[in-house]
Structure 1
Amino acid sequence: MVVRRATQGGRVVSARASAGSVSTQSPSWRQRALQLVDRDLWSPVATARRGVAWAQRLLQFAVLVGQGFGQELLVLRASALTYYSVLALIPLLAIVASLIKALGVSENLIAIIVDRVAAGSPEAGQRILELVEQVNFAGLGTIGAAVLFATTVLGLTSIERTLNTIWGVDRVRPWERRLPDYLAVLIVAPLLLGVALSLGTTFQSQTIVRRLFEIPGFASVYNLGLRQAPIVLLWAGFGFLYWFLPNTKVRISSALLGGLVGAVLFTVAQRAYLGFNIGVGRYNALFGGFAAIPLLLVWIYVSWVIVLLGAEVSFVHQNLDRMRRARRGEAPGPAAREALGLAIAARVARAFRDGEGALDVRSLSDLLDVPEPSVRSILSDLEGAGLVAARGELKDEMYQLGRAADRISVSALLEALRGSRNSGVEVAQLGAPIEKILAELDHQTSEVAAGCTLAELAEDLPSSPAT
């Protein structure tokens, strides 16, 4: 006799069944959904219909984006970026305003940007603009200017770190690259954003549009696509951010797709937020003069959620095929990681031996058909052990051997990939029998692997394509 326990409607129910009986209980909708997402969705489609395969691929893409967004805690990271944004808002806008003045661009651009940053909160926008205009770099002195500049750089660094997390990169730019790159972001992004918002405001004004339509030929130009100019410029701004700011190579096509998603969602959210704030007067009874503050925080938070979602779309698009193949198989365990690590080291050694030079993460990812974050993680372990060496900056980093291939044993490679057994736990505390068998395993592995070098592993590999 078998006793089964199940839950129905929040109650625990017991069901008794004989050994010969068969349960007819069908899985719940939640179990079916989980089975679809975890297993069925990744099975190859047994049909030649192009529409079905396209729909499956689109659903896989959406699932990977959603799971990545949740697993990387991007909603929580958006909260952190909201805090940094509030902290660095005035210094950042002050520096952008000074750069815009130096470039000879209309100063009204800052007012337009501030108006959209504080969307639906005119009191907050007016106060922010007043604070920005009050910033006097000449009167701040050396220390004040340094604090203002440091706050801006730290804010941009936090944005870069978050985007790097999505791409599996654990290092930000070095300081000699950080300053000029951040300066480019401070110039390009506000210009694109400001022009896009300015055009959007212009086309939303019925009076201005009527006057423009009186110009001969304007109606044709407007209908051909001028009315889409604001979202196109937002698309360019988001795409530039996703392509330029992460400290790794991002394909332009992937950055543009993420930028398109970000621009569309930002436009929709902005219109919804402005519509929501039509009835903002009723919040004054609760918050008084501070009603603009929570609304501003909510808008900044929603904006960051959209920015990070677009970045996740860029990442999944660039790694989609490899991520799909990885989902069809089991998650790689320690043994698979060791095999991949040996293959990566052998490829680097073979490329060096054949005079092809160093290899980058993307080349190794393409050669071995594995996601870039997995390759980057293994190279980091090998570099930490001195077995490979990185050249150049991380965005264009190339990897070569740290020493001659015939002086690198397979045992040393495995040790670098496995790490120390004493990391976080003392083996002796696990008991003598466990300590003994682990010591024997290590000894046997060392005897076999120590007799083989990386040069021997690389000998029988096919030549790597030129990079």
Structure 2
Amino acid sequence: MLSDIPVFSLSSDTKDGTYNNMMKRAYEYLTQGIWKLHLEGLSGWEGFKIRALRVLMLTSEGFQKSHISQGASALTYYTLLGIVPILAILIGIAKGFGLETSLETWLISQFPDQKDVLDQIFTFANNSLEKANQGLIAGLGILLLLWAGTKILMNLELVMNQIWEVREGRSLTRKFTDYLAMIVFIPLLVFLSSGFVVYLSATLTTLGESNEILSKIFTVVIPLLNLIPLALLMLMFSFLYIFMPNTSVHFLPALCAGIFIGCIYQLLQWILFTLQIGLTGYNAIYGTYAALPIFLVWIHLSWVLILLGAKIAFSIQNVHAFQHMGGAIQLSHKFRNLLSLQITHLVVEKFCKGEPPPTSIELSNLISIPLSLARNLIHELCSTQVLTEIQRDIDKETSYQPARSVDQLTIKRILDMINERGTEIVLPPSKHRDKLVKSLKKFEKIIEESDANLSLRNL
């Protein structure tokens, strides 16, 4: 009943009219009220507002649980190690096309607030290239590039898998092929795309000078071209959110997260640029390296934003799976067993009917439990070899089917497999424990022979 749901309004009067009481009601509404509402009974705009609040709360709650700040710190460290060899390789490739000056100019135009640091990095990178004819130095530089780039992507995948609640990472073969492609081609594609924008802008300007009508049209078109780098940045973020997690990420949630984080990222650059102008006093402390502290802050906050975008994409895609999330969940062992049996029954039922195997999201929706709880129970069932993980042929989604003959999956057999998970320890002899063991064995025999010990196939 919608009347049973606490509704929060800033204009409503509280009993004592205190600020604390109002904030308490707001907290209860955000943590419980919005999760008890059924969106089917709400209008389009009201449903959108509740869904947006749920996405906001899921993102906020998951920020700490997914260790985003710690992951950003690790990524900052490996970024600092790899930035010089990565730029050295890019400058080397650009030199092959005669575009090394254009590359440096473009990078400075993209990050004007980091010009001093970039100049120093360019110096280090060019020095590395000049010594590249020395085989040992060149080999070490390439190894450092591959190692740093791989560590960045491995940590990025690790944190994004935590955000998406994925327990298994890529295989070693996939890591090698996927990571190598990203290290080499993505920076090159971004640079070439931006170079094309500069070339197109110059060409249109030249054409406009020779034709008055075209000049008026291009006066509007050329400023719009300046938005293309921002659009490319948003698409790059969206690509990361789709590509990096070892699970299926839908395009629309990734695009929404990419657009939002792209705008916030541009705002961050403007703020840091303003701060860098204002903090001239740092020169007295750091000398020529005064830009380094802000550069470090910029790298760290950039990674925080990127990982935050991954959490936003997760929340948008899976918000419907948290319909009944309100309040902390502390399930009893008995109720966990009941849910495990229900999950197994749904998987067995679809398997026997020849239907596509269900995903964790589909199972959480069918039972109306939070996605995180469903995934924990499914992981337990897979580790005890009740279920097994496969990829569906139709969409390559991770899904689940029985790990053994469905005729063997009785209620008692499944509960035994769950309860026997783990190891036993050697204890000193005990007469009382021996009696308990005998009593439990009698219980198990009675349950085994009971008519209530149904096969899940025949439910």
Q: Distance in 1 between matches of 2:109 and 2:434?
A: 63
Secondary structure of the structure 2 residue equivalent to 1:319: helix
Match of 1:16 in 2: none
Deviation, 1:165, is 0.7
Deviation, 1:415, is 4.4
Match of 1:399 in 2: 400
Amino acid across the alignment from 1:57: R
Deviations 1:124-181 (A, max 9, x none): 2112123333243872465664443223212210111011110001222111111221
Match of 1:465 in 2: none
- The answer on 1:178 being equivalent to 2:175 is yes
C-alpha contact (below 8 Å) 1:195/1:230 kept by paired residues: no
Deviation, 1:375, is 3.7
Q: Distance in 1 between matches of 2:306 and 2:164?
A: 14
Match of 1:152 in 2: 149
Pick the aligned partner of 1:131 from 121, 124, 127. Answer: 124
Amino acid across the alignment from 2:291: A
Is 274-283 or 247-256 further displaced after alignment?
Answer: 274-283
Deviation, 1:246, is 0.6
Deviations 1:250-301 (A, max 9, x none): 0111111111111111111112222222234321111122212211110001
Alignment of 1:324-343 (within 5 A): 324-327=323-326, 332-343=331-342
- The answer on 1:221 being equivalent to 2:208 is no
Pick the aligned partner of 2:27 from 13, 34, 37. Answer: 34
Q: Distance in 1 between matches of 2:280 and 2:438?
A: 72
Is 451-460 or 294-303 further displaced after alignment?
Answer: 451-460
Q: Distance in 2 between matches of 1:300 and 1:439?
A: 63
Alignment of 1:293-308 (within 5 A): 293-308=292-307
Amino acid across the alignment from 1:39: Q
Secondary structure of the structure 1 residue equivalent to 2:37: coil
Q: Output the TM-score relative to the length of structure 1.
A: 0.76
C-alpha contact (below 8 Å) 2:113/2:269 kept by paired residues: no
Amino acid across the alignment from 1:44: L
Query: Structure 2 stretches of 5 or more lacking a match?
Result: 1-14
- The answer on 1:241 being equivalent to 2:240 is yes
Deviation, 1:316, is 0.2
Q: Structure 1 434/257 Cα, relative in aligned 2: closer, same or farther at 3 Å?
A: farther
Match of 2:81 in 1: 87
RMSD between aligned alpha carbons? Answer: 4.4
Q: Distance in 2 between matches of 1:146 and 1:77?
A: 23
Alignment of 1:37-436 (within 5 A): 37-44=30-37, 50-96=44-90, 106-108=99-101, 110-111=103-104, 114-115=107-108, 119-133=112-126, 134-135=128-129, 136=132, 139=135, 140=137, 145-187=142-184, 189-191=186-188, 193-194=190-191, 214=209, 216=215, 217-222=217-222, 225-327=224-326, 332-356=331-355, 358-391=357-390, 396-417=397-418, 420=421
Deviation, 1:311, is 0.8
Deviation, 1:86, is 1.4
Q: Distance in 2 between matches of 1:438 and 1:99?
A: 72
| Aligned residues between the structures | 431
Q: Structure 1 344/324 Cα, relative in aligned 2: closer, same or farther at 3 Å?
A: closer
Amino acid across the alignment from 2:61: Q
Deviation, 1:371, is 4.8
C-alpha contact (below 8 Å) 2:411/2:454 kept by paired residues: no
C-alpha contact (below 8 Å) 1:196/1:229 kept by paired residues: no
Is 194-203 or 209-218 further displaced after alignment?
Answer: 194-203
Q: Distance in 1 between matches of 2:260 and 2:90?
A: 26
Is 35-44 or 133-142 further displaced after alignment?
Answer: 133-142
Amino acid across the alignment from 2:218: F
Deviation, 1:83, is 1.6
Q: Structure 1 196/409 Cα, relative in aligned 2: closer, same or farther at 3 Å?
A: same
C-alpha contact (below 8 Å) 2:90/2:188 kept by paired residues: no
Is 41-50 or 317-326 further displaced after alignment?
Answer: 41-50
Q: Distance in 1 between matches of 2:320 and 2:445?
A: 37
Q: Output the TM-score relative to the length of structure 2.
A: 0.77
Q: Distance in 1 between matches of 2:437 and 2:94?
A: 65
C-alpha contact (below 8 Å) 1:116/1:197 kept by paired residues: no
Is 211-220 or 148-157 further displaced after alignment?
Answer: 211-220
Q: Structure 1 210/117 Cα, relative in aligned 2: closer, same or farther at 3 Å?
A: closer
Amino acid across the alignment from 2:400: Y
Deviation, 1:242, is 0.2
Deviations 1:22-74 (A, max 9, x none): x9796544433322322233343899665444333322321221121133231
Q: Structure 1 446/361 Cα, relative in aligned 2: closer, same or farther at 3 Å?
A: farther
C-alpha contact (below 8 Å) 2:337/2:415 kept by paired residues: yes
C-alpha contact (below 8 Å) 1:119/1:299 kept by paired residues: no
